[in-house]
Amino acid sequence: MATTSKNLSDYTKNNLPACENFNIGIVVAEWNDDITNNLLKGVVDTLVENGIDRENITIKSVPGTFELALGCQFLLEHDEELDGVIAIGCVIQGETKHFDFVCQAATQGIAAVNLEYNTPVIFCVLTDNNKQQSIDRSGGKHGNKGVESAVACLKMIGLQNELL
């Protein structure tokens, strides 16, 4: 397991670009909201901690993880000033193949939005076998995947700006 010995919240601020003027969109799934709200807190706290004004963060909700890609697309179409978007969701394995279909659709959809809009759209979706794994990765013993996703977003925006 990739996170067994890694805290998802560990990062070095020195490796991040100056991001005070970045505008970030966040699309968060309402399904498993106890988990996604913890991920959202990790994202927002990390962005603000790194100098992004709370007014430069736009947060929108969608019903579930399946809807994240379209929510990100709507947000990018509505706000052309966004430098990056973070898609937050949580899918927990159940007794049927629904888990596989939702995870595959979310992954492919978010990847497609990245390429279509040439904008960093970060995959902050937990795909765990059980609720405890999600708790552990949304502020529990493995840190918060939201922090890692916010850092990834800032680094990708920095890379894009560096290459322009």
Residues designated as active site: 98
Q: How many CA atoms, within 13 angstroms, populate the side-chain half-sphere of residue 111?
A: 6
Q: How many CA atoms, within 13 angstroms, populate the side-chain half-sphere of residue 36?
A: 27
- Dihedral, CA of residue 110, residue 145, residue 161 and residue 78, to nearest 10: 50
* Distances 33 to 62, 116, 159 between C-alpha atoms, Å: 11, 28, 32
Closest CA to 151 of 5, 6, 34, 19: 19
